[in-house]
Amino acid sequence: MSRVLIFTRFERFWHWTQAVLVFGLLFTGFALHGTHQWIGYDLALRAHIVLAWNVIGLWVLAIFWHVTTGEWRQYVPTSRGLPVVAMYYAYGIFSGETKPFVSTPAAKHNPLQRLAYFGFKVLLAPALWISGLLLLFYAAWRPTALGAALPLAWVAYVHVAAAFGLVVFLIGHVYMAATTGRPWYAYLKSMITGYHEAEVAPPGAERDAYTPQVERSPKP
């Protein structure tokens, strides 16, 4: 067994803070949408806005971190290894095959994760933010040319559709990230402790070569 630090303190803080904010946004957002009436509309709106500003603030910080550390490359999608990982989840996982990917600090996410997270960051999140900010500041742009071109309903449709996309993403993410490790909770644990406990050189680990690695300089 070896213990490798996969998720730095910042990444864990960012992940779990975002998780709390996103669940809060979904809860208050579906209250605003009229899906449930567990909290009043006024409270839901105020909470939704506060949570939204916080998640935006968090992302500004996270983007800064990813750019300055170069860690953003962890999310560049790759097709290499994708079929192998996809086949593993579609078939091999049932017959007890070893996962064809091992997290390392240089390649934290398997190709399927890369694709999913990339989609979340590039499509879902911006769709939610841009439409959300437009909804928040509707009164300012309604009388302008943008208001003439863009009906409020369309903005709201994008926001709601992206929110559904977010729910779909979360269900898949929670299932895959929290239950498909070995033991089943291994990934969840490493997202809490930061460390990944892996058998050294598991069989098939060489397939990691499919996945682009982030180079890093040795710690001083």
Partner 1 sequence: MTAVDGDFGRRLVTAKPWMALLVLGTGLLFSAGFVSANDSAGANAADPELVPIRPPTGRTTTADHSKFEQLQGPFSSGPEVTAACLGCHTEAASQVHGSVHWNWRYEHPTTGQTLGKRHALNNLCLGIVGSYERCASCHVGYGWRDEHFDFTAQNKVDCLVCHDRTGTYEKFPTGAGHPAYEDTMFRGRLFEAVNLAHVAQNVGQTSRETCGGCHFHSGGGDAVKHGDLDSSLLAPSRVVDVHMSPEGLDFNCSTCHEFSGHDQAGSRYLVTAAPQHGIAIPGRESDRPACQSCHGDTPHARGIHDKLNQHAGFIACQTCHVPEIARGGLATKTLWDWSSAGRRSEAGVPVVERDEDGHIVYDGMKGNFEWRENYPPVYRWFDGTMRYTEAGERIDPSRPVDINRPEGEPPRNGARGNGARIWPFKVLEGHQPYDDVHQHIVVPRLFGRDETAYWRGYDWTRAIEAGMAEALRTGQTDAGFSGSHGFVETRMYWPVTHMVAPADMALSCESCHSVGGRLAGLAGLYIPGQDRHPLIETLGWAAVLLTLLGVLGHGLMRAVMVIRRRRPQPAAHTGDGV
The footprint of partner 1 on residues 20-39 (CB under 8 A) is: 32-34, 37
Asked, as a colleague might, if the bond just before 218 is cis with ω within 30 of 0, I would say no
> Which amino acid would we find at residue 67?
V
> Which amino acid would we find at residue 31?
A
Cβ 215 to partner 1, closest distance in Å? Answer: 4
The footprint of partner 1 on residues 103-142 (CB under 8 A) is 106-107, 135-136, 138-139, 142
Rule CB under 8 A: say whether 10 interacts with partner 1: yes
Which residue number, 2 or 184, has a Cβ lying nearer to partner 1?
184
Task: State the burial class of residue 72 (Cβ atoms within 10 Å of its Cβ: 0-12, 13-18, 19+).
Answer: middle
Which residue number, 181 or 198, has a Cβ lying nearer to partner 1?
181
Among 6, 11, 88, 196, binds partner 1 (CB under 8 A): 11
The footprint of partner 1 on residues 138-177 (CB under 8 A) is 138-139, 142-153, 156-157, 160-161, 163-165, 167-168, 171-172, 175-176
Stretch that binds partner 1, among 9-17, 109-117, 123-131, 195-203 (CB under 8 A): 9-17
Cβ 200 to partner 1, closest distance in Å? Answer: 18
Q: Which tokens belong to 17? A: 């803070």
User: Cα-flanking dihedrals φ and ψ of residue 198, to 5°?
Assistant: -130, 145
Among 36, 38, 40, 206, binds partner 1 (CB under 8 A): 40
User: Cα-flanking dihedrals φ and ψ of residue 81, to 5°?
Assistant: 90, -15
Cβ 166 to partner 1, closest distance in Å? Answer: 10
Instruction: Find out whether 191 and 12 touch, Cβ atoms under 8 Å.
Output: yes
By C-alpha distance, which of 107, 104, 114, 96 is closest to 198?
104
The sign of the CA dihedral 52, 124, 40, 42 is: positive
User: Cα-flanking dihedrals φ and ψ of residue 119, to 5°?
Assistant: -60, -40
Which residue number, 1 or 153, has a Cβ lying nearer to partner 1?
153
Rule CB under 8 A: say whether 45 interacts with partner 1: yes
The footprint of partner 1 on residues 72-91 (CB under 8 A) is 73, 89
